[in-house]
Amino acid sequence: MPMNLHTTYLRIRDDASVEPLPVDDTFWPRLIAGELGTFHREQLVTVLEHGEDWPNWEMHPSGDEIVVLLDGHMTFVLELDGGVDEVELGHVGDFIVVPRGIWHTARIRRPSRAMFITPGEGTLSRAAQPRGED
């Protein structure tokens, strides 16, 4: 029976096995609270929809993150030494590999849906300033 990444995320374990993770209103609070484990050497595969700019910056110290645009138009903003780099994802199938340890956020140009493959262990987050103030 097929599954759907809108209702079931995937944990790719360090031995390359896959564990389906049912998604409900408690998923993200449970993940943040550590109730789903540490994701040590594991990846989380999700599909997320975004209608507005991200309210935060995030950084993944344990590995690179892959983001694949499925619909819409978004700009990834990467914080690099000496400034920022902006990467447009404007066509279905466009993707970015966000390097390990790089703070990033997204500006939503048109309501968007993307698949994320995230090394979750140790992920950090900080509030973003309103557009134009980052």
| pLDDT at position 10 | 97
Per-domain residue ranges for the chain? 8-125
pLDDT at 62 over 70: yes
Comparing CA positions, the residue from 114, 20, 3 lying closest to residue 67 is 114
Determine the CATH number of domain 8-125.
2.60.120.10
Give the tens place of pLDDT for each residue, 78-120.
999 889 999 999 999 999 999 999 999 999 999 999 999 999 8
Quickly count helices (H) and strands (E) in the chain.
1, 9
Put simply, whether the predicted model's pTM sits higher than 0.85 gets the answer yes
Contacts of 47 (CB under 8 A, 6+ apart): 5, 6, 70, 113, 114, 115, 116
Give me the sign of the Cα torsion angle 24, 25, 31, 34.
negative
- pLDDT tens string 3-46: 999 999 999 999 999 999 999 999 999 998 899 998 999 999 99
